[in-house]
Amino acid sequence: MSRGNTMLKEEKVFKDPVHRYIHVRDQLIWDLIGTKEFQRLRRVRQLGTTFLTFHGAEHTRFNHSLGVYEIMRRMIEIFKGRPHWNEDDRLLCLATALLHDIGHGPFSHSFEKVFDTDHESWTRAIIMGQTEVNAVLRRMGDEFPREVSEVIEKTHPNKLVVSMISSQIDADRMDYLQRDAFYTGVSYGHFDMERILRVMRPLDDQVVIKSTGMHAVEDYIMSRYQMYWQVYFHPVTRSAEVILNKILRRAKYLYLNGFVFKQFPTHLKPFFDGDISIADYLKLDEMIIFYYFQVWEEEQDDILADLCGRFLHRRLFQYVEFNQHFIMNEWAGLQERFKAIGVDPDYYLVIDFSSDLPYDFYRPGEEEERMPIHLLMNDRKLRELSRQSDVVEAISGKKRTDHKLYYPSDILYMPGQENEKREILEILSG
């Protein structure tokens, strides 16, 4: 296997519903796509449980990763020959864009909460470990995998390269907003990406936008805002996530307390034990998780069986919105009433909240410092976006949060203990 990178004799092209075509010209990129670690992303959905709300949302991390690569490739084409751009960084940018999500597991964010894993840590482990991905990357030199990992972790000294894949307007966000909008069928996530790419300019430490492209960036910011509240935080999707979370927690609880499963959950044992190897992690995908859910639907544990049936057959929890007053005055009593009708509130009464900051200006010293979007003005000076745009200023720095309480409404309408259930419904109705 030769060192370094060569150009393919003939360009490879992927048909893509978002970008029309994805072009691969480098042997390095083509070989990374062919690794088993990257191919595993075909079996991990991009939007987790969203397919239960928007039936078209069946696209995968594989689709998205190729899309991010293609946007990065187009950005590099625009930057080529411009001041502050170093063509030697081209393959670092392309490899990083392709591999930035390679550490995602099945139903990634719900899974991470239960098993205390972190997809970014696993991304580093896969890139740096004894994997096919690492072997391909090392053709570019023994330090190349570390550089790719550092860009993804945002610790690489080249801040321009970092900003191209991770900032408030980057290749990652520009792909997932458009791709998720396309597959969910909504209109919110569409914006003029071609215009944004044309007005992007590289500087020493970040990508900036020519001031003439401000309105296209405004459209992008508002698209992101709408996608989060209309798609990513959709209450039905969150209901499915709540049930998924409780299934995994119940299975872990049963395992740790000596429950004898009809079929031992071999693939999940390392996660239950908290001793996970790279090989263990890579074996797990959403097909495996669905298999166990089908098996557990027939388990002897009533809670596990019921929750699995709810998830598989979309019998989801209902929800009500609530505020801090509710928590202070009603929460404890509601839990006791659920216990009184024989329903475990630990699994069937769930508080969930979502919050988003659609755009933020620079706040030095904060735990997560967000580099703002800068406009390159006609006098070559930089001006922060929200200082120039009334639209962005109106939502800048404003964090929106909502709280919901999820519960199984069907149980409350079943015969028996009608008085207790009526009391519960009265509390939930406010």
Domain ranges of the chain: 7-231
In sequence order, which ranges of 202-342 are alpha helices (DSSP H)? 214-227, 235-256, 269-273, 278-283, 286-296, 302-312, 324-329, 331-340
Local mean pLDDT, 10-residue blocks, the chain (430 residues) = 84 98 98 98 97 97 98 98 97 98 92 92 97 98 98 96 96 97 93 97 96 96 91 94 97 98 95 97 97 98 98 97 79 93 97 78 47 93 94 82 92 93 89
What is the number of other CB atoms lying within 10 angstroms of the CB of residue 146?
Answer: 15
Radius of gyration for the alpha carbons in the chain, expressed in angstroms and rounded: 24
Query: If 0-12 CB within 10 Å is exposed, 13-18 middle and 19+ buried, where does residue 258 land?
Result: exposed
Element at 11 (helix H, strand E): strand 7-16
Q: Please tell me whether residue 396 adopts helix, strand or coil conformation.
A: coil
Burial of 317 by CB count in 10 Å (0-12 exposed, 13-18 middle, 19+ buried)?
Answer: buried
Compute, in degrees rounded to 10, the torsion defined by CA atoms 119, 122, 124, 128: -160
Dihedral of alpha carbons 218, 221, 222, 223, sign: positive
DSSP 3-state assignment of 16?
Answer: strand
Whole-angstrom CA distances from 149 to 74, 95, 128, 134, 285 are 22, 10, 8, 11, 22
- Is residue 309 within 8 A of residue 315, CB to CB? The reply is yes
pLDDT for 215 = 96
Q: Classify domain 7-231 at the CATH class level.
A: mainly alpha
10 Å CB burial of residue 220 (0-12, 13-18, 19+) is buried
pLDDT of residue 238: 94
53 by DSSP, 3-state: which?
coil
pLDDT at position 110: 85
* Residue in 78, 66, 85 with CA at minimum distance from that of residue 24: 66
Q: What single letter denotes the amino acid at residue 262?
A: K
Q: pLDDT value at position 2?
A: 58
Specify the 3-state DSSP secondary structure of 363.
Answer: coil
How much is the pTM?
0.94
Cα 196 to the center of its chain, rounded Å:
23
Tell me which residue of 216, 171, 196 sits closest to 71, measured CA to CA.
171
Cβ atoms within 10 A of the Cβ of 275, count?
Answer: 9
Question: 417 in the Ramachandran plot: left (φ > 0), alpha (ψ -120 to 50) or beta?
Answer: left
Q: End-to-end CA distance of the chain, in Å? A: 68
> Shortest CA distance to 231 belongs to which of 182, 276, 264?
182
The DSSP annotation for 187-230 comes to STT---HHHHHHTEEE-SSSEEEEGGGHHHHHHHHHHHHHHIII
- Given CA atoms 323, 328, 334, 335 in this order, what sign does their dihedral have? positive
pLDDT at 326: 76
**What does the pLDDT read at residue 363?**
42
pLDDT attached to residue 41: 98
- For 329, the token pair is 């005055």
φ, ψ of residue 20 in degrees (nearest 5): 70, -55
CA dist., res. 389 & res. 385, Å (int): 6
pLDDT at 400: 76
